[in-house]
Structure formats: C-alpha cells, structure tokens
C-alpha cells in the first residue's frame, strides 16, 4: 500500500514537474546561445542546423520559420534599455544606427508574433524608407499617437516587441558585443 | 521522512526525464508547425505565392511584411529537384528548411552572383548516385543536399518601398521548382 502510494506520488510529481518546466521553457523563450546587445537579442544559431533542442521545440510550437544564417539575422527586443517591457500606450524612441548590412527592416509585433493593426497600415520600416538625420542616424517614434518623422504606431496594445532584421550581413555567430554591432537604443519617453 | 525524501528524489529525476523527452519529441509530433501550415495551402513540388501577412491573417508568426514570399514544398522521394528564380531589383534570398523546420541552407542574390539563382536539390543518396563522368564540380552547377526527403524552399524578395512590390512579385512568379 505504501509502495503504491509512493509510486503514484512520485509519478504525479514527475509529470507535473516535467511538463511544467517544458511549458515554461517553451513559452518564456529561454533559448541558449543568444547574442544580446543592449535591449536586443538574436539567436544566429537558430538559422543553422546547429539549432538547440529548446529553440527547435519553440519554433515548432509557434509555427514560425527562423531566418536562415545565409540570409540574415533577427534581433528581438521586448523591453527598453532600462529593462521595462515595451508598452503600446507609451511613447518610445528607437534611435541610433544599425550594424553593417545591405538592408534592414524594423517591425512591430504583438507578443505572439502577429502584426498590429493601425490606422496608417504601417507595421515597420525598411532601411530605404527611413528618414535619417544628417549624420546617418535615425529616430523612430514608437507610440500610440501620430508623430512627425518616422512614426511606428503601436495601436495602443499593452505589450509588443520590436524585431530588427539585418539582411546580407557579416553579423552572426561570431558577433559578441555592441562594438561589432552598434544597435539603436530604445528609450521610454512617457506614458499616457 | 527519509522515505518521503527518496520518493521526492525519484520524482525529481523522473521529472527531468519527462522534461527532456517532451522537449526532444515535440518537433516530431507538432501539428501546427510551419511545414504543416504550408502543407495546407501548397501542393508538392510547385512554387506557391504566400499572401502578405496582415494583422488579421498570416500564414506564420513573425513574417517580415517588407518581403514578398513564395514557397515550394518539395518531395525528393521520386527524383531530385531543379530550382531557379530570377533575382528581384532589391534583394532576393532562398532559404531551405527540413521537414522539421530546421534551416539548413540559405543563399542570397549576391552570393549567387548572377541574374538567376539556379540550383539542384537532392538527398544525400541521390547525390551519391550522380554519375562519375558528370562534371559536378562545374562552378555553374550548385548542388544542395537536403537532410530530409521533404521540406520547404522559401523564396523571398524585398520590397524596400511599397512601389517595389510588383517587381518583387513578378520575379517570384518566375520561380520554378521541378523534379528532374
């Protein structure tokens, strides 16, 4: 009786623990081998056959296709430089320059990777569309209300993430620091 | 008390095994991965345009809206595949994914170095069967070997500004993937 009870107990705990940790690992996005520069993180290895099992499981669960390493690399940011999560009701400034690449795109998604509806149907900018300052740097105003210059609307959703994709770029698995790859800063300006 | 501790230890070990097993097995049982999503709209061995992602509708999450995309879902079980796409004015890339959505090869227009990206896709076995006398080292014949018999070729053309969409779309419309 005691043995039976013990076995049941151990199996129940094991199942809860095992499945629970798997769920947390796959939904919280705890992949290994990331390159973090400021608020931005990329997983260049996910675009190769060297992708780790956690990232594979995550990719298969969400249904996305990672950017192939011969194509480019994607940097994700879900917080600003101060670590506050990106809130669509706040005004956020993305400012600076990008690492060397033939083209880049900056896109705004909700936490599930869907584009966000807004009145001007703008979901992002390409390196060719963006309005730059005299020194080549750019400012993108991310927020719920229209702004002059580069305005990326959030549609007022409470959480979003920014994805900066570099195409035809030397940035990849060998990249370690912001000295190799100067990423734009993300600063919160104010909230409604 | 000691007995409870032992049972807990056993539960922890078993829990670890359950965790690892589910993470490793998930790719084999997933029913809503990118390959399954593409299978729903694309027949085998033909190039299908993917509708541009919108807030309401997207084939996959995290698609880049600045690109026109076409997909070829391939099956090499009968024969190797010949693939070609003319490059678009801005930037064109071709990425290869296994049946399990692992990116195993990608090439862009600059790496291809020509007006048309052309290559032969085959399995390792088919590559080994290539006749010896055929000059497979010729620089103009790019051979890509697929780790799995089925998989996806994703062809993408950048539209740096909205006005470039027709040009990108027309170059993708000329993409071909055909069994040899």
Say which CATH number the domain at B55 has: 2.60.40
- pTM of the full structure: 0.91
Least confident of A138-142, B26-30, B75-79: B26-30
> Is B26 close to A61, i.e. CB distance below 8 A?
yes
User: pLDDT digit string (tens) for A68-92?
Assistant: 998 999 999 999 999 999 999 999 9
Residue A72 is predicted with a pLDDT of: 94
> Is B18 close to A103, i.e. CB distance below 8 A?
no
- Domain extents for chain A? 36-191
Residues B25 and B59 in one domain: no
Residues B13 and B69 in one domain: no
Residues B79 and B131 in one domain: yes
> Is B91 close to A167, i.e. CB distance below 8 A?
yes
B27 pLDDT above the threshold of 90: no
| Long-range pairs, A47-50, Cβ under 8 A, ≥24 | A47/A71, A47/A73, A47/B103, A47/B106, A48/A173, A48/B103, A48/B104, A49/B102, A49/B103, A49/B104, A49/B147
Residues of chain B with Cβ-Cβ distance to A14 below 8 Å are 10-15, 17-18
- How far apart are the CA of A82 and the nearest CA of chain B, in angstroms? 25
Residues B1 and B68 in one domain: no
- What is the C-alpha radius of gyration for chain A, rounded to an integer number of angstroms? 20
Residues B78 and B106 in one domain: yes
Residues B120 and B162 in one domain: yes
Q: What is the C-alpha separation between A152 and A179, in angstroms, rounded? A: 27
Tell me yes or no: is domain A36-191 CATH 1.10.1030.10. no
- How far apart are the CA of B153 and the nearest CA of chain A, in angstroms? 11
Residues B40 and B20 in one domain: no
> Is A70 close to B102, i.e. CB distance below 8 A?
no
Interface contacts (A, B; CB < 8 Å): 192
Token pair for B24: 């490793």
Q: Indicate whether this complex's ipTM tops 0.85.
A: yes
Q: Which of B58, B102, B107 sits opposite A115 (nearest CB)?
A: B58
A164 pLDDT above the threshold of 80: yes
B169 touches B154 (CB < 8 A): no
> Is B64 close to A71, i.e. CB distance below 8 A?
no
In chain A the first and final C-alpha atoms are separated, in Å, by 62
User: pLDDT digit string (tens) for B115-174?
Assistant: 899 999 999 999 988 876 665 555 567 899 999 999 999 999 999 998 999 999 999 999
- The arithmetic mean of pLDDT across residues B11-33, rounded, is 90
Share of chain A above pLDDT 90, in %: 67
Residues of chain A with Cβ-Cβ distance to B106 below 8 Å are 47, 68-71
> Is A9 close to B11, i.e. CB distance below 8 A?
yes
- The arithmetic mean of pLDDT across residues B76-99, rounded, is 94
Residues of chain B with Cβ-Cβ distance to A71 below 8 Å are 93, 95, 106, 108, 156
Reduced to 3 states, what is the DSSP secondary structure of residue B179?
A: strand
Residues of chain A with Cβ-Cβ distance to B99 below 8 Å are none
Q: What is the C-alpha separation between B71 and B37, in angstroms, rounded? A: 11
> Is A103 close to B90, i.e. CB distance below 8 A?
yes
| Parent domain of B128 | 34-179
Backbone phi, then psi, for B125, in 5-degree steps? -65, -45
Residues B59 and B133 in one domain: yes
Residues B10 and B39 in one domain: no
Into how many domains does chain B fold?
Answer: 2
Backbone phi, then psi, for B176, in 5-degree steps? -130, 140
Residues B38 and B119 in one domain: yes
Residues B96 and B122 in one domain: yes
Residues of chain A with Cβ-Cβ distance to B18 below 8 Å are 14-15, 17-19, 22
Q: Which residue has the higher pLDDT, B151 or A29?
A: B151
Residues B22 and B42 in one domain: no
> Is B65 close to A115, i.e. CB distance below 8 A?
yes
Pick the residue of A23, A42, A68, A172 with the most B CBs within 10 A to test the interface with B by mutation.
Answer: A68
């Amino acid at each position: 009786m005691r043995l039976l009870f013990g076995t049941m107990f151990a199996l129940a705990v094991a199942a809860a623990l095992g499945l629970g940790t798997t769920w947390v690992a796959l939904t919280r996005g705890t992949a290994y081998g990331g390159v973090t520069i400021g608020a931005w993180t990329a997983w260049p290895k996910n675009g190769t056959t060297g992708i780790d099992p956690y990232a594979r499981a995550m990719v298969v669960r969400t249904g996305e296709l990672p950017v192939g390493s011969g194509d480019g690399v994607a940097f994700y940011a879900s917080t600003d430089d101060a670590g506050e999560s990106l809130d669509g009701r706040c005004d956020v400034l993305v400012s600076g320059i990008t690492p060397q690449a033939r083209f880049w795109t900056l896109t705004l998604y909700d936490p599930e990777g869907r584009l966000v509806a807004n009145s001007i149907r703008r979901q992002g900018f390409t390196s060719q569309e963006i309005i730059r300052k005299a020194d080549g740097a750019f400012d993108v105003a991310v927020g719920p209300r229209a702004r002059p210059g580069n305005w990326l609307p959030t549609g007022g959703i409470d959480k979003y993430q920014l994805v900066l994709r570099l195409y035809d770029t030397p940035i990849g698995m060998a990249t370690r620091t912001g000295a190799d790859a100067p990423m734009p800063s993300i600063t919160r300006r104010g909230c409604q | 008390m000691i007995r409870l501790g032992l049972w807990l230890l056993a539960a922890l070990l078993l829990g670890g095994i359950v965790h690892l097993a589910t993470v490793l097995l998930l790719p084999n049982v997933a029913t809503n991965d990118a390959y399954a999503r593409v299978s729903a709209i694309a027949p085998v061995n033909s190039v299908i345009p993917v509708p541009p992602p919108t807030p309401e509708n997207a084939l996959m999450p995290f698609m880049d809206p600045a690109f026109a995309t076409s997909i070829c879902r391939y099956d090499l079980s009968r024969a190797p595949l010949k693939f070609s796409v003319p490059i678009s004015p801005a930037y064109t890339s071709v990425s290869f994914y296994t049946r399990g959505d692992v990116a195993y090869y990608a090439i862009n227009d600059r790496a291809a170095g020509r007006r048309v990206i052309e290559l032969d896709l085959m399995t390792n076995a088919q590559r080994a069967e290539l006749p010896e006398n055929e000059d497979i080292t010729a620089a103009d014949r790019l051979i890509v070997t697929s780790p799995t018999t089925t998989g996806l070729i994703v062809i993408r053309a950048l539209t740096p500004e909205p006005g470039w969409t027709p040009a990108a779309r027309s170059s993708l419309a000329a993409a071909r993937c055909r069994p040899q």
